[in-house]
């Protein structure tokens, strides 16, 4: 029993914004050949430190071939929610799934946050036996349990879905859905706790994605193009929000942090019409919680002309480099939306104070399939990969970006092999952003997600405004 409330839990996003700046980041590192273990690194984020912007320790996983992906905390601010309060919990353990292996690792950040310890491994056989799912993808700390999702069935096909872990013992509790309706594809999930609503998105089943993008499936519009709305309390499917088969791969979900609001943003990787990428807004129209959920496109980012010799084989016939929006993130005050264009190497900032009418407020280039834009600290050194996973500090003043997507997709679009990097951007009070010239972390392994010590803009959910 923890008799002292965790000081990193906040009832509301407004209170979390006042939290002290992060000093450490936890960074997943993938070994692309799958002959050596992946790792979790601890990165020094304190500008006053001599090791600022560098890895200060690294914990190798016990097996090769996990492909560490989206990880989360065992507990967070949602523990304060009145419907299922358990404020005795402590934000201490990182729940780290292997997307390819389906293995789940539990890492302890205490007593020494700079030196992680592996405390438990949930083997893939147990996950598959108790849930029917495989390829664990994303982890969120919920009010009553740890929620995780998976891309597919134990056989590597569909459907994908959500399962739960006990937040104290990490025992696998089983699948979450009681009535999945037409939902079959899976990618991300998140919720509006104040509205008892879960939203899920779509990518593809393991046999559609593990060997790289399948051009036949893509051109036939077979990858995910819809969101699903669920009754969070009853665990039942409620509604499909179909963007149309032209919109392929509907990925990262970022609901408004204000629990009284009922809207959010989702990024779409590409359009079959013109290779553009887009961001869509889901929202509930109506009052008293009885309205229908709807969706509309609010941002479109065009493909950029490119010479065939500068493009990888899959894109040579198109004469253009697609933006490929692979991640987005929303500041805790719900004001700024960040958009990663992994293909062109552009990283964008929009003011979404009016979520129906975003206003572009910032643009930075780094990496990219064609441009290979360098970091300002090493202006003559081209970088490959592009802006990919994004994390925003709780006060919204700092943004961290990594460059690897998924091993088999990395090789398709960056066939020369991605060299890993992580960068930091400083954000202006009224918008705008610039790369921190002191922060370019390069690594032979491929960085994917970063979590910030104490919480960040995509780790916590709140039940109070």
33 pLDDT more than 70: yes
* pLDDT tier at 1, thresholds 50, 70, 90: low
Contact of 189 with 203, CB cutoff 8 Å:
no
Give the closest residue to 52 by CA, choosing from 61, 44, 40, 42: 44
pLDDT at residue 5 in the model:
81
Q: Which residues pair with 58 in a beta bridge?
A: 41
* pLDDT tier at 86, thresholds 50, 70, 90: confident
d(CA 176, CA 149) in angstroms, rounded, equals 9
4 pLDDT more than 80: no
Task: Please state the rounded mean pLDDT for residues 34-47.
Answer: 98
Give the closest residue to 76 by CA, choosing from 394, 454, 396: 454
Dihedral Cα 267, 314, 185, 175, nearest 10 deg:
-90
Q: How many CA atoms lie within 13 A of 76 on its CB side?
A: 28
Would you call 392 exposed, middle or buried from its count of C-beta atoms within 10 A (0-12, 13-18, 19+)? buried
455 pLDDT more than 90: yes
Residues making up the chain, counted from first to last: 465
Dihedral Cα 143, 145, 149, 150, nearest 10 deg:
180
- What are the pLDDT digits (tens) for 209-218? 999 999 999 9
pLDDT at residue 88 in the model:
87
pLDDT at residue 75 in the model:
96
133 pLDDT more than 70: yes
Give the closest residue to 132 by CA, choosing from 179, 172, 74, 189: 172
Q: Which structure tokens are listed for 210? A: 């593990």
d(CA 409, CA 405) in angstroms, rounded, equals 7
pLDDT at residue 302 in the model:
98
User: Mind giving me the DSSP string for 347-398?
Assistant: EEEEE-SSTTS-EEEEEEE-B-TTT-BPPTTSTTS---S----EEE-TTSSE
* pLDDT tier at 109, thresholds 50, 70, 90: very high
d(CA 356, CA 405) in angstroms, rounded, equals 29
190-215 CB burial, b ≥16 within 10 A, e <16: bbbbbbebbbbbbbbbbebbbeebee
Query: What residues contact 291, with CB distance under 8 A and at least 6 apart?
Result: 284, 285
d(CA 409, CA 315) in angstroms, rounded, equals 13
- What are the pLDDT digits (tens) for 297-335? 999 999 999 999 999 999 999 999 999 999 999 999 999
* pLDDT tier at 169, thresholds 50, 70, 90: very high
CA 308 to chain centre: 31
- What are the pLDDT digits (tens) for 360-403? 999 999 999 999 999 999 999 999 999 999 999 999 999 999 99
pLDDT at residue 84 in the model:
79
Q: Which residues pair with 305 in a beta bridge?
A: 320
d(CA 305, CA 309) in angstroms, rounded, equals 12
Whole-model pTM? 0.98
Contact of 190 with 149, CB cutoff 8 Å:
no
Task: Please state the rounded mean pLDDT for residues 9-36.
Answer: 97
* pLDDT tier at 288, thresholds 50, 70, 90: low
289 pLDDT more than 90: no
* pLDDT tier at 286, thresholds 50, 70, 90: confident
Question: Percent of the chain having pLDDT more than 90?
Answer: 96
* pLDDT tier at 87, thresholds 50, 70, 90: confident
d(CA 109, CA 88) in angstroms, rounded, equals 17
């Amino acid at each position: 029993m923890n008799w002292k409330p965790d000081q990193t839990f906040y009832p509301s996003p407004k209170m979390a914004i006042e939290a002290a700046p992060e000093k450490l980041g936890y960074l997943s590192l993938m070994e692309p050949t799958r002959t050596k273990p992946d790792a979790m690194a601890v990165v020094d984020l304190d500008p006053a430190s001599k090791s600022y912007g560098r890895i200060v320790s690294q914990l190798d996983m016990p097996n090769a071939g996990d492909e560490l992906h989206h990880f989360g905390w065992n507990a967070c601010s949602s523990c304060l929610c009145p419907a299922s309060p358990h404020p005795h919990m402590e934000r201490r353990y990182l729940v780290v799934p292997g997307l390819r292996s389906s293995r789940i690792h539990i890492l302890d950040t205490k007593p020494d946050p700079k030196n992680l310890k592996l405390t438990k491994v949930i083997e893939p056989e147990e996950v598959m036996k108790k849930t029917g799912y495989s390829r664990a993808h994303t982890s969120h700390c919920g009010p009553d349990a740890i929620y995780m999702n998976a891309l597919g069935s134990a056989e590597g096909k569909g459907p994908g879905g959500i399962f739960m872990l006990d937040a104290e013992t990490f025992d696998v509790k089983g699948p979450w859905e009681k009535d999945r309706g037409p939902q079959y594809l899976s990618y991300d999930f998140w919720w509006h706790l104040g509205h008892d609503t879960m939203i899920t998105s779509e990518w593809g089943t393991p046999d559609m994605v593990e060997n790289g993008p399948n051009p036949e499936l893509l051109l036939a519009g077979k990858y995910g193009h819809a969101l699903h709305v669920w009754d969070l309390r009853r665990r039942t499917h409620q509604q499909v929000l179909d963007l149309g088969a032209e919109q392929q791969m509907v990925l990262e979900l970022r609901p408004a942090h204000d629990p009284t609001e009922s809207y959010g943003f989702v990024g779409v990787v590409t359009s079959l019409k013109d290779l553009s990428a887009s961001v869509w807004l889901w929202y509930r129209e109506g009052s008293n919680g009885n309205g229908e959920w709807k969706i509309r496109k609010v941002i479109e980012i065009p493909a950029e002309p490119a010479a065939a010799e500068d493009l990888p084989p899959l894109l040579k016939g198109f004469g253009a480099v697609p933006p490929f929006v692979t991640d987005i993130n929303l500041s805790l005050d719900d004001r700024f939306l960040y958009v990663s264009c992994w293909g062109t190497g552009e990283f964008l900032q929009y003011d979404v104070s009016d979520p129906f009418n975003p206003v572009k407020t910032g643009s930075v280039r780094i990496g990219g399939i064609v441009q290979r834009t360098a970091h300002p600290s090493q202006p003559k050194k081209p970088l490959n990969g592009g802006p990919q996973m994004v994390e925003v500090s709780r006060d919204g003043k700092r943004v961290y970006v990594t460059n690897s997507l998924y091993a088999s997709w990395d090789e398709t679009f960056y066939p020369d092999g991605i060299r890993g990097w992580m960068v930091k951007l400083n954000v202006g009070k009224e918008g705008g952003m610039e790369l921190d010239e002191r922060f370019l972390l390069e690594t032979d392994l491929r960085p994917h997600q970063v979590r910030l010590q104490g919480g960040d803009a995509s780790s916590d959910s709140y039940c109070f405004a």
